[in-house]
Amino acid sequence: MTTVQTVDANTLNDWIGQDDVLLIDVREPNEHARAHIAAAVLMPLSKLGGTELPDAGGKKVAIVCASGARSAMAAERLFARHYDHVYNVDGGMMGWQMAGLTVAQSENTASGGNGGFFSRFLQPG
């Protein structure tokens, strides 16, 4: 592999089910608390780098953010550090939710509904 590739939400969901991927969420903690993929490890882009990089253990590494922009930057950083099989999640959390896949939220943000990105636009009033 010579560049970072993209992975769609449904394929990523399959990889998660097969325990074949390390999924890193590079959003900030407040974004992650509102809606996240349960299997994701939170590692904000603002803190990604240095010596805290995770060990992929031979698995694919997929990076997710809100829309795919920050995760693309993070994926490039990991690829430059010689991580193999690095993928940017196409469409980020928006793509995940538009595919109808399950999101989790932190307990302190639970307020009914699915707590997803789009829920803030669907609230009355």
Q: Which residues in the chain land under pLDDT 70?
A: 1-2, 50-52, 108-125
On whether the CB atoms of residues 45 and 63 are closer than 8 A, the answer is: no
Per the structure block, which two tokens stand in for 10? 């449904």
Per the structure block, which two tokens stand in for 39? 């299997």
- Domain 5-105, CATH homologous superfamily name and number: Rhodanese-like domain (3.40.250.10)
Q: Quick one: pLDDT at residue 34? A: 93
Q: Please write the tens of the pLDDT for every residue from 42-59.
A: 999 988 776 567 778 889
On whether the CB atoms of residues 35 and 97 are closer than 8 A, the answer is: yes
Question: Which of helix, strand or coil describes residue 44?
Answer: coil
Delimit the domains of the chain by residue range.
5-105
- Its pTM stands at 0.82
Q: Which of 95, 63, 106 is nearest to 81 (CA)?
A: 63
The span from the CA of 101 to the CA of 92, in Å, is 12
Q: Please write the tens of the pLDDT for every residue from 108-117.
A: 654 444 444 4
- Report the run of H or E that residue 39 belongs to, with start and end: none
Q: Quick one: pLDDT at residue 56? A: 83
The span from the CA of 19 to the CA of 86, in Å, is 15
